[in-house]
Amino acid sequence: MLQDRHFIPLKPELYNDFGCPECGTHGPEGVRTMVLGKQTAAEYRCGHCGLAFVRDLPAGFTIDMPLAWRLSDKHPYLPEEGWVEDWPAYPDYQVPKTSRYNVQRKVFRTCKRIIILNTIDHLYGHVLLKLFNAQHYLDHHPDIGVVVMVPRMFEWLVPDGVAESWVFDIKLKEAWGWNNGIDQFVQEQWDRYDEIYLARGYSHPEFTKIDIERFTRVKPFNLADYGNAPRSVTFVTRRDRLWYPSAFAKFIHRVQRKLGLVPITGAWLQDRLIARTIRRIRRRYPDVRFTVVGLGKQGGIGMGIEDLRTLHMDEGTEKTWCMAYAKSQVVVGVHGSNMILPTSHAAGCVEVLPYDRYGNMVQDISVRYDDRMQLFMYRFLDEFAEPADVARHIVSMFKDYETYRVDNRVNIF
């Protein structure tokens, strides 16, 4: 089988480059692969102590801290260092689901050697980040067919060139749990192939190497046009993680949610902050075009705004939003997975960064540049930043861009 650190062997040999969690004997016998939905694991048996156990395969968000557990009673074996979820102990994993989620196997090219990229996850951003791994395998291993396991709502992002896509009509929240139906479907495909690998599914790909147009079919903003294209700013909003004017406003919003009340004040305050930011930018650049996207009701920000918010997502809306990002010099939003596609297409961004997300800084930003332009094009502000602060940065990104570009990209060796 292929020896490559970006490939995890599954068939005819199952990955076993580790020690038994009970006695430490290296190279336990691989019994079978288990694709449970979000989790891709495998069953093993130790040839020395006889332990039968299941272990996470080193892919996706468990790549460095895999969990193992005893097959007989799900007793966990945790890594010596670091924290890892004991996911088999969660209620959603106690009673396996049997639904196949109306899975469709779509074959574009028949292959006997394949690598499976499992993008199923309960978090929107995680699905995107894992899906971007497809480009590496398509470009560097054209002799091996890429098979993408993908939720239906992300099917439109599957790039051309994959051998197959296994499309599951599964909601994000349903990916959290033990899904026997998914595993059964995968097992039924096993005999079709002579050689099977699992893609690593790295959670933080190098975005300067990602060609986002291959996924969204939308050409991103060309930095060469920055000073000539119409000035455009897009605000990316969400209702579950807001831009708050103060710590007190954030506290009140959270209390409302705890009490089961509809927390409309938080979204209303966010709209006020956006409106004030727009007014300040217009004082300097009256010609700037403003767009607002996100899950929410339209209206409430002001006149002259293209409001593309909606409560009902579909593929058409996603593409329309991507086209808005691709026309924008700047996108503005609160840290989160909602910023991955905007920053993949726009020239730069201003992000409001909550205090509890400092450890995740830049993980949601599709950094498109590998030089000092990173520092100019990606700005991060305090959780309770004032509209004046956000506007000041955006004005600078228009006003100072050409001087910064010449100093850091032209007048250098």
User: Of 406, 360, 407, 388, which is closest to residue 123 (Cα–Cα)?
Assistant: 360
pLDDT at residue number 31: 97
Identify whether the C-beta of residue 67 lies closer than 8 Å to the C-beta of residue 85: yes
Q: What is the CA radius of gyration of the chain?
A: 24
pLDDT at residue number 241: 87
Q: Which residues pair with 97 in a beta bridge?
A: 179
pLDDT at residue number 16: 96
Distance (Å, whole) CA 162 – CA 119: 14
**Cβ density class 246-270: b for 16+ within 10 Å, e for less:** eeebbebbeeeeeeeeebeebbebb
Q: Are strands 305-307 and 68-70 parallel, antiparallel or unpaired?
A: unpaired
Identify whether the C-beta of residue 309 lies closer than 8 Å to the C-beta of residue 239: no
Per-residue pLDDT band for 86 (boundaries 50, 70, 90) equals confident
pLDDT averaged over every residue in the chain: 94
pLDDT at residue number 262: 61
106-111 mean pLDDT: 98
Query: What is the per-residue pLDDT across 32-69, written as a single tens digit (0 to 9) for each?
Result: 999 999 999 999 999 999 999 999 999 988 888 789 99
Phi and psi angles of residue 137, each rounded to the nearest 5 degrees, phi first: -70, -35
Query: What is the per-residue pLDDT across 293-319, written as a single tens digit (0 to 9) for each?
Result: 999 889 889 889 999 999 998 999 999
Query: What is the per-residue pLDDT across 157-203, written as a single tens digit (0 to 9) for each?
Result: 999 999 999 999 999 999 988 899 999 999 999 999 999 999 999 98
User: Of 384, 341, 336, which is closest to residue 362 (Cα–Cα)?
Assistant: 336
Q: Where are the beta strands (DSSP E) in 162-246?
A: 164-168, 195-199, 232-237
pLDDT at residue number 95: 85
Q: How many CB atoms lie within 10 A of CB 76?
A: 15
Query: What is the per-residue pLDDT across 138-164, written as a single tens digit (0 to 9) for each?
Result: 999 999 999 999 999 999 999 999 999
As a whole-number percent, the residues of the chain with pLDDT over 70 amount to 99
pLDDT at residue number 263: 62
Per-residue pLDDT band for 401 (boundaries 50, 70, 90) equals very high
Query: What is the per-residue pLDDT across 231-275, written as a single tens digit (0 to 9) for each?
Result: 999 999 998 889 999 999 998 888 887 887 666 788 889 999 999
56-83 mean pLDDT: 86
pLDDT at residue number 55: 94
